[in-house]
A and B are shown apart, each in its own frame.
Chain A
Amino acid sequence: MSQPTPASATPPGGHLLDLRDLHVEFRTQEGVAKVINGVSYHLDPGETLAVLGESGSGKSVTAQAIMGILDSPPAHITAGQIRYRGRDLLSLSEEQRRQVRGREIAMIFQDALSALNPVFPVGWQIGETLRQRLGMSRADARRRVVELMDLVQIPAASKRLGDYPHQFSGGMRQRVMIAMALAMEPKVLIADEPTTALDVTVQAQIMDLLADLRRDLDMAMILITHDLGVVADVADRIAVMYAGRIVEHADVRSLYRAPAHPYTKGLLDSIPRLDQRGGKLATIRGLPPNLMRIPSGCPFHPRCPYAQQVCVDVVPHDLVLGDGRTSACHFAQEVRDDRTR
């Protein structure tokens, strides 16, 4: 496990990618769902940030807001900034935004079978940006596609260029997806649950591949996942999301050692452990909130074992715990010091 990137790697003028107080809502006929409610996180060159949370916590929506591929309607970004190399992406025109997409920040998606176009050969899909955006000739693009497919360790790459997505196994399809995202040599790679649709053994291979590629190509990576086990080996820092907020933010080691938010603690406790066999699996009671009616105060309070009256009345601010750790909990200190795991 690597330590958080030292401050010297931070580019002059701030972070590589810097989200500030992002708010996104979905306006539907049933009402307004407040999906992102003031998310701030940052990413420095060469580091891996894991964004953790259950379905509907807003981790994917945040990523799509960074990419600028949210469908609007229903999605509306109502406040905040997404600064990339000091420039607020939200203030750019769609055309300028498009230039950043794929070339600076690329994204890979959860289910490669549906995320790849079923009617085009994979070689064509990987090479599309090379031909369309870099103006490469067919022959040059082809050579580069084979290189990319070799890079993501697809066997017999030159023979498989003409194959279609459905002819590949799940793991190989995800490699195709990764090769496609790497085609333009992005500086930031967002991986949205890249292993969720895969077998466990293949999951590990893909995670290793991503970690290796991140290091070899000197990219920064945002790894979105709901799987704590996946995170530990590859991430430097973790941001835990709940109901469209970052509830805890810490480097991997201290977060695992002593979570400072009851939600994180609940997630860690719910990992099955070999030394507690036979016992009942710990779960977090209750359900994630309806984003159209987020509870008052701390949105986690109806499910929280630490909840007091103050949690119902007052929205907790990010409490800085030192070492760059923050926790949005009124009782962050108590939770962190509570070693009853």
Chain B
Amino acid sequence: MFRFIVRRLLQMIVAFFGTTLIVYALMFAGQGDPIQALAGERPVTEAQRAYLTEKYHLDATGVGGFFYRYFDYLSNLLRGDLGESLTGRSIGEILAAAWPVTIKLALIAIAVAVIFGVTAGVLAGIRRASIFDNATLLLTLLVLGIPTIVLAPLAQYLLGVKWQLFPPTAGADPDFYALLLPGIVLGSLSLATALRLTRTSVAENLRADYVRTARSKGLPRRRVVSVHVLRNSLIPVITFLGVELGNLMSGAIITEGVFNIPGVGFNLFRGIRTEDGPLVVGIVSVLVVVYLVANLVVDILYAVLDPRIRYE
């Protein structure tokens, strides 16, 4: 188990350098004059230009210069300094404000997926080919078929504007209630996938030989299902939910945009729209770390859940 974790940590470091390098290169390599880009339309004085060239090490040119700047950026990043956005705000501060909102939203979405998706999936798996199973199949296909860009405004219009069950937009400092509807919309996709995955996994495991063994031991059906079948069936589901939580933590551009939620996705989208290179690279670099950590946690969890993995 220890060696497994060490190996995964080493892979994670390689992945971190690889992804940040690609993101950094994509954002800055093609740029003409970064100082002019920084200043926008306004003229740049010689003193300012000298200061910025010094600050960002722009005097070094070519591939060497690029890597010099990349490692400079990286060393700042590792010290926790994400730099400033083009608007002059500290990227660290922007993220500190946006992340709690996104995390709350992600947790609501995952809770929705677990409570409704996994539960309904287990029931559908046990009662395969029943009315309940077919109804959930239809509903999940419907949800999976509608893109978020349609589902989010639709839910906002019907539940927020027309029937006024939820606030239609979240606003600057949203509370739990304001995030509930966007959370459900965001979670509905994970819910549908979690449901299908759980259903298939439970149905498959119910037919497994070890279930027949458990029954022949004279265990009550309740125990056979809730201990033997579930423990095996939930391995792929938990793996999926872990990766999904990593996805959701990195912000939901569409949902946050539609419901006007000042989360990570919202800020990332603004950065892309205003061509704010440092902001985009800053956010994406942190997202890479979040994503890598989420994957590491999932892999370790997977090894804990399935003893066959540990010894490979």
Q: Which A residues lie at the B interface, using CB under 8 A?
A: 64, 67, 69, 71, 98-103, 106-107, 109, 111, 114-120, 128-129, 132-133, 164, 166-167, 177, 180, 184
What residue in chain A is nearest B216 (Cβ atoms)? A107
What residue in chain B is nearest A114 (Cβ atoms)? B209
Residues of B near A101 (CB, < 8 A) are: 215-218
Jot down 6 A-B pairs with beta carbons below 8 A, ordered by A: A67-B215, A69-B212, A115-B212, A117-B231, A117-B232, A184-B218
Per-position 1/0 for B268-308, Cβ under 8 A of A: 00000000000000000000000000000000000001111
Chain B contact residues, majority secondary structure: helix
Measured between alpha carbons, how far is A118 from B309 in the docked complex, in Å? 11
| Closest chain A CB from B242 CB (angstroms) | 17
Is the Cβ of B213 less than 8 Å from the Cβ of A103? Answer: no
What residue in chain B is nearest A73 (Cβ atoms)? B129
Is the Cβ of A99 less than 8 Å from the Cβ of B209? Answer: no
Q: Of A98, A99, A115, which contacts B210 at CB under 8 A?
A: A115
Residues of B near A116 (CB, < 8 A) are: 210, 213
Q: Of B212, B219, B223, B306, which contacts A118 at CB under 8 A?
A: B306
Measured between alpha carbons, how far is A67 from B214 in the docked complex, in Å? 12
Q: Do A117 and B307 contact each other (CB < 8 Å), given the known contacts A101-B218, A128-B217?
A: no
Q: Of B213, B220, B235, B305, which contacts A115 at CB under 8 A?
A: B213
Say yes or no: is B228 at the interface (Cβ < 8 Å to chain A): yes
Q: Of B210, B216, B307, which contacts A102 at CB under 8 A?
A: B216
Measured between alpha carbons, how far is A133 from B217 in the docked complex, in Å? 10
- Residues of chain B from 179 to 235 with CB closer than 8 A to chain A in the complex: 207-210, 212-220, 223, 228, 231-232, 235
Is the Cβ of B217 less than 8 Å from the Cβ of A117? Answer: no
Residues of B near A120 (CB, < 8 A) are: 231
Question: A69-B212, A115-B209, A166-B308 are known contacts; what are 13 more A-B pairs with Cβ within 8 Å?
Answer: A67-B216, A98-B219, A99-B218, A114-B208, A115-B213, A116-B213, A119-B235, A119-B305, A119-B307, A120-B231, A133-B218, A180-B217, A184-B217
Is the Cβ of B214 less than 8 Å from the Cβ of A117? Answer: yes
Residues of B near A107 (CB, < 8 A) are: 216
For the complex of A and B, list the 7 residue pairs with the smallest distance between their C-beta atoms, beginning with the closest: A102-B218, A101-B218, A114-B209, A117-B210, A164-B307, A102-B217, A115-B209
Is the Cβ of B216 less than 8 Å from the Cβ of A106? Answer: yes
Interface centre among B212, B213, B219, B311 (most CB of A within 10 A): B213
Measured between alpha carbons, how far is A64 from B207 in the docked complex, in Å? 14
Q: Do A118 and B217 contact each other (CB < 8 Å), given the known contacts A164-B308, A166-B308?
A: no
Q: Do A129 and B216 contact each other (CB < 8 Å), given the known contacts A111-B209, A166-B308?
A: no
Interface centre among B219, B231, B307 (most CB of A within 10 A): B307
Is the Cβ of B218 less than 8 Å from the Cβ of A118? Answer: no
Is the Cβ of A132 less than 8 Å from the Cβ of B308? Answer: no
Is the Cβ of B308 less than 8 Å from the Cβ of A129? Answer: no
Is the Cβ of A132 less than 8 Å from the Cβ of B307? Answer: no
Measured between alpha carbons, how far is A99 from B218 in the docked complex, in Å? 6
| Closest chain A CB from B102 CB (angstroms) | 34
Measured between alpha carbons, how far is A100 from B216 in the docked complex, in Å? 10
Is the Cβ of B213 less than 8 Å from the Cβ of A117? Answer: yes
Measured between alpha carbons, how far is A177 from B212 in the docked complex, in Å? 13
| Closest chain A CB from B208 CB (angstroms) | 7
